[in-house]
Amino acid sequence: MDVKILGSGCANCNNLEKATREAVDALGLEATFDHVTEPGEIASWGVMKTPALVIDDEVVLSGRVPTAETVKALLRDRG
């Protein structure tokens, strides 16, 4: 699984990454993580509000920080 966190590196972006890592670990999944901070690259994903979560090249969430439970649900829906 390829996971990207889109955002400037602010506290919300870091919290999204933390929640996503917790969810991946809790589900026993393997994932690579990348934190995309370049505004042009973020915009190329069609994201207007950060932070955003991209899983396997699909934006699944943007503009808020979910709980680890919410991320787990997103991950389960993909499997």
* Residues forming the active site: 10, 13
CB burial readout 28-62, b (16+ within 10 A) else e: eeebeeebbeeeeebeebebeebbbbbbeeeebbb
CA distance 7 to 42: 7
